[in-house]
Amino acid sequence: MWDQVRVDHGKEFYLTLFIQELLSPHRYTQERRPYLQTPSTRNHTVERIWPEINSRVNYPLKKALLQLVDQELLDMDDSLVKYCVSCLTGQLCQIGVTRVVESWNAHRIPGKGTPNDLAGSGCPKKIPQELLPHSAEAAELYRQQLGSTLTPQSTFGVDPFLTEEDKLMAENQFAEQYSDISELLSRAVNNDFTPYKEALLFLITTTRRNV
């Protein structure tokens, strides 16, 4: 349990701050406020990771997708296409973010040390996992206690499969052709977008064939 969470004034942190306040009696140090909201100009050093994520994850994949749209190979008004784009690109982004975070945590911050070393012992206060509500439960608590609602997570495309068997068939066919999708990201980050674009088009074709 963190003693204090520090964020800027973005609305995306509302649920985090609500839960931090809710669980504040369980903190190790009670003298500090459970959270601080400060201007973006006073961001922590870790905020510098965002340009890295953009350059090493988001922008290469976005560039490839825009090329496919410009070439009229992607119809982003088609729900099935949006579903396939979301599934594959989301997985690649997760791989990319994990890489960037692991790299960041292993590098030395002048005057502070290495994040892995600084966090080696973890937080001084441990709490049972059951005290941490699932996101849906947390959102409902937010509504009940504050009388307002959060913007629900939106879907990008709709799952087109009628049965789990059809979905599994398509996933297996894709996996046979692309057993290691991390290579798609590695190539895209190095400005070789062809493997990612070909894999995405193959996924769309495979999905259409199995729905």
Q: Which residues contact 153 (CB under 8 A, 6 or more apart)?
A: none
Q: What size, in residues, is the chain?
A: 211
pLDDT tens digit sequence for 134-180? 988 999 999 999 988 788 777 788 899 999 999 999 999 999 999 99
pTM comes to: 0.78
| Position 117 pLDDT exceeds 90 | no
Nearest residue to 23 (alpha-carbon basis) of 131, 124, 146, 148: 131
Q: What is the DSSP letter of 58?
A: I
pLDDT tens digit sequence for 86-105? 999 999 999 999 999 898 88
Q: Where are the domains of the chain?
A: 44-210
Confirm if 156 and 82 have CB atoms less than 8 A apart: yes
